[in-house]
Structures are given as C-alpha cells and as structure tokens.
Chains A and B, each alone.
Chain A
Amino acid sequence: MNATSNPFHFKVGLFAAGTLLLVGVFLVYLLHARGVFEPTYRLNLAATSADGVAPGVPLVFSGIEIGSVASLGLNDDGGIVIRIELLQRNAKWLRQTSSFTLDKPLVGGAKIRVDSPDLKAEPLPDGSTMLLVTSDVSKEIPALVERVKAILANVEHLTRQDGEINATLANVKTVTDRMTGDYGVLEGILGSPEKARAVTDSLEKTRALVAKLDSLALRMDGMAAKTDSWLFDPNGVAEHTRESLVQVRHMLDDAQSSLKKADALMANAVDISANVKDGTQDIAKLRAEIDDAVRKANALVNEINKKWPFARDPEVKLP
C-alpha cells in the first residue's frame, strides 16, 4: 500500500483537483454575480400600499433586472418604506428625474420599473427616498368588470319586461298605433278616438264655423288664420307631439350610447385579459350577456324606426 505505487492516486488526484477547481471557480463566479465583492447601493421607495411587493421583487430598468427589494417596513407616520438594494455598478441608471412604478402584469411576477428619461440628470445619491407609483392592471380589471356590470344592470333594467324602455316603447307603440288609426296624430296625442273625435269635431265645427263665417262675413279670414296658429304655433298641440317624440328618441339614443359604452369597455377588458385563461371564461359569459342586450336593444330601435323613420343609422356596431 505504498502511496507512490498506487495507480489510482494520480487519476483520482487529477479528478479531485479538476472538480474542486471548477466548483471553486463557479463559487467565486457566483459570489461575484451576487455582488459580494462590490459595495451595495441602497434606495428607499415610499409607497401607499405594499400590496404585491415582497423581498426579492426585482427592480427593472429597460426590461433588465438591476436590483431587488431587500425588505419592507413602515415608517413612523405609517407610510410604507420599501428598501431596495442594487450593485454599485447598476446605480448609474438611477437619476434624480427617474420615476418608479410598481408593475403587476397578469403573467409573471410583480416588478418595480425604473424610468430614467434623462440619463444626463444628476445621479441619485445612495440611500435617497423616491415615490413608488402603482400601475396595476390586475387591480383595474375587477373595477372595469364592475363598471361593465353596472352598465349592463342599467341596460337590463331599461329593457326588462316592465322596465322604463319597455314602458316607453309600449307607450310609443300605442301612440303610433293611434296615429295610424282613424283619427291619426290627434288620436295619438289625445289618447282615445272619442277625445280625438271631440277635437276633430270641434275643429270641424270651427271649420264649419269658418266656412259659415267665410260665407257670411268679410273678417272670416282672420279667424281661419287664428285657427292655424293654434294648431301650428310653437306652443300648439302639434309642437307638443313632436317634443314628446323627440324625448322618446333621446331615451333610445341614451340606451344605445350606454350600450356602446359597455361594448367599448368590454372590448378593452377582452384585450387586456387576452392572455389569461381563467379570466376569459367569465368575460365570455359577460360578453354573451352584452351581445344579448345589444341585440334586444337593436331590435327595439329598428321597430321604432319602422314606425317612425328617424334619419339615422340605428345599428349598434360590435367589435
């Protein structure tokens, strides 16, 4: 068992030395990579909420990680202080004009983004405190969905069987039905053929009177002119009819525009959450509801337009 005669020793020695050398080089490289040989630069960020921030969350400049959150804490005033550590060599990206944003994307972890619009500005001294702004897409989505839901609830409220729109449209329907009835517009305005007949009767009487007067006296023309002005005066009956119809039209317009608004929000939400599997299912359901409501409303608008031709394209466009 003489050491010099052992044939294994040389090879095992070579193996051990090689492995130790490589592992040693890697460990030194690792220590270098983790910045053990470099001074650490500290930065404090003041934030209103520490939601989503934890030790290890990266500080990112132009998509490249330059540091990470070391710890979180509260200051004496109850504000949140996020302590960030980065290597001295990366501190050059931080300037007095830099802004810090907390990004919480739907895919991937939260990160703090640094934007330094002017890299020639004064460098940020070690240990300084900056403000952290939150831009949180994931937080906006529920709010967005809430808004869409509220609008949908309104739409539903308007369009349900006993809802306002239905009632209004029902009213419109009766009005227009009456207008097409024996007594036309006047029946529509006055509510029943009897009343309309009363009016027409009186008109007839007036006319008859006029005719009589026409045939009887010279100042008959003045009377006739007065009757005309009663009918077609701005404060006259026909003007009222037009006003109320314009009101109905406004209401329909309102419904249509709120539907359009819902639709736009919807498209937005779908865009944002295009990558999220879970979200898509809920949103698809929501989307179906909206489609349904829009279709109902469109049908109503079309019906009105058939009966009362407004000179506008009534279609609600869907993305």
Chain B
Amino acid sequence: MRFLEASIESLGAKITGWFAVGYGTFAFLGRALLLLLDRTTWNRATFDVVVKQVYFTAVQILHVFLGYALIISWLIVTIILSTAREFGLTEFAMEMTIRVLVLELLPFLTALFVALRSGSAINTEIALMRVNNELDALAHCKVPPMQFEFLPRLIGGVVSVVALASLAGLLALLLAYLSIYGLSMAGFEAFTRTVARIFDFRIVAGLAVKCALFGLAVTLIPVTAGLETPKKLFMVPVSVLRGMMRVFFAIVAIEVLSLALKYI
C-alpha cells in the first residue's frame, strides 16, 4: 500500500515537474516574443549578436553539414531508386525521394545536427553563466540578458536551421535529379511537374514553419534548461543532460505532429 502511495506521489511529482518545465519554457518564449515587438530591440547591437550566432551555428559548420547532407541524400536516393526499379515503380521514385528527403528527413537531421552542436553548447554556456554569477552581475548592472544573450540565440537558431535545411533540401533535389536523369535536361519537364505537384502552398509553408519550430526548439529549450541550473558547478552536466533530452523529445514531437497534419 505504501509502495502504491509512493509511486503515485512520484508520478504526480513528475507530472507537476513537466508542467512546470513546459510553463517555464513557454513563458520564456512569450517574453522573447514580446521583446521582439519592442522597437528598441531592433538595433545594430542585437543584429551584430544575431550575426555572430548565425556564424557559429550555421556558417562555421556549413562545409561539414553539406558533406553530410550529400552523403545521406545520395544513400537515400540510391536506395529509393533501386527499390523503385525493382518493383517497377520508377515513376514514383522522384516523388518518394522529395517527400522522404526534402520534406522529412533532411529538416529532421538538420535539427538534430544543430541541437547536438549548438544546442548543447548553448545549454552549457547558459548553465555556466548562471553558476558563475554572471547573470547576477548583469542583473546588478540592470542589463537584461534576454536582448543580447538569449533572443539572438533564438533568432540565430531559427535562421540557421531554416537556412541549412533549405540548402540541404536543394542539394538533395539536385542530387535526385542527377541520379535519375543524369547530366541532361531530358527529364527537366517531368521533374518540374513532380515538383509542382508536391510543393503546393500548404507544403511549402508547412515546411518553413516546421524548420522554424525545429530551430526554436533546439535553442529555446537549452536556454531555459540552462537558466534552471542550481548554482552548483556539478549541476552543469545534469542541466545539459536534461536540456538535450527535452530537445530530443521536442524535435520528435514536432516531426510527428507535422506528419500527422500532412497525412492524416
């Protein structure tokens, strides 16, 4: 009986914890969005920090990322193509490639890539800022860190994931065309028709929103997780661990939601 009581209590504590985390995250997002509406946010300094964030999140890893996207795309295109030929469904190969790679897999992998690289870094940095009292120092100076520490990271994350996912998608499209039709313009009309059929307004807008949400998830969640860190140095790894778990769940949740909205 006591065991049951204890498990119910721990379950309740967990659920309350999740709600608290969710509420904290969304409240933080709300404050960030409110700040976006503030005219004073839109100055040269914020822009510079955003540029710096985009540099570290996207530009610095661009060649690695594109190489990785190239290999993944080439593999998937080859698999789809050979399978389609085997079953005599070659006319569906292009559509399948675009749907699998450009619409689902590449944005998802981009989000994972940025989460692993920048998300974890952001989480650690914010946690260290908190543990080292740097945030208290900023508070003493009455300089809100949101504008030059957090908001640029969110914007940088969104911009980076959207840009990287679009570049990877375009690369995959090019690769798919080359794999199916080779170096000739012969298949261009068929390719154009397939592209026109798949990318209607809803799909393009949905893709953009999904990538933006991915970008937000891989930066917003590490920031809030870092801010929750207790002021003890040994809690920094724990904070990063929790933050990255949440990022992973959020990415999967966004992907599942987008699939559900698209195909159900």
Contact = CB atoms under 8 A, between A and B. Distances in A.
Interface of A: 1, 3, 6, 8-9, 11-12, 15-16, 19, 22-23, 26-27, 29-30, 32-35, 58, 64-65
A22 B59 contact: no
B196 A33 contact: yes
A250 B190 CA distance: 61
Contact of B51 (A9, A22, A26): A9
Contacts of B193: 33, 64-65
A12 B192 contact: no
A32 B188 CA distance: 13
A19 B167 CA distance: 7
B163 A33 contact: no
A8 B156 CA distance: 13
A6 B204 contact: no
B26 interface: no
B56 to A, nearest CB: 8
8 contacts: A1-B44, A6-B48, A8-B59, A16-B54, A23-B166, A26-B166, A32-B192, A34-B199
Given A30-B195, A30-B199, A35-B196, A15 B163 contact: yes
Ranked 5 nearest A-B pairs via Cβ: A33-B196, A8-B55, A19-B163, A33-B192, A15-B59
Q: Looking at chain B, what size class is its interface with the partner chain?
A: 20 to 34
B45 interface: yes
A87 B65 CA distance: 39
B195 A3 contact: no
Contacts of B192: 29, 32-33
B62 interface: yes
B52 interface: yes
A147 B199 CA distance: 45
Interface in B191-205: 192-193, 195-197, 199-200, 204
B45 A1 contact: yes
Interface of B: 44-45, 48, 51-52, 54-55, 58-59, 62, 163, 166-167, 170, 173, 190, 192-193, 195-197, 199-200, 204
A16 B48 contact: no
- Please report whether the interface of chain A is mostly helix, strand, loop or mixed according to DSSP: helix
Given A8-B55, A26-B170, A15 B62 contact: yes
A226 to B, nearest CB: 80
Given A15-B59, A30-B195, A22 B167 contact: yes
A34 B195 CA distance: 9
Nearest to A25: B170
A35 B58 CA distance: 34
A12 B62 contact: no
Contacts of A1: 44-45, 48
A227 B254 CA distance: 104
B170 A22 contact: yes
B163 A16 contact: yes
Nearest to B163: A19
B83 to A, nearest CB: 16
Given A6-B51, A29-B195, 7 more contacts: A8-B51, A19-B166, A23-B166, A29-B192, A33-B193, A64-B190, A65-B197
Nearest to A8: B55
A22 B166 CA distance: 9
Contacts of B59: 8, 11-12, 15
B35 to A, nearest CB: 20
A65 B193 CA distance: 8
B55 A30 contact: no
A15 B54 contact: yes
B68 to A, nearest CB: 17
Given A3-B44, A23-B166, A12 B55 contact: yes
B226 to A, nearest CB: 23
A26 B55 CA distance: 24
A33 B62 contact: no
A27 B167 CA distance: 13
B52 A8 contact: yes
A32 B163 CA distance: 22
A11 to B, nearest CB: 5
B33 to A, nearest CB: 23
A32 B192 CA distance: 9
B80 to A, nearest CB: 17
A27 B199 CA distance: 10
Contacts of A27: 204
A29 B188 CA distance: 12
A23 B170 CA distance: 8
Find the residue from A16, A19, A27, A29 having the highest chain B CB count within 10 A: A19
A64 B187 CA distance: 12
Nearest to B58: A15
Contacts of B200: 34
A33 B195 CA distance: 7
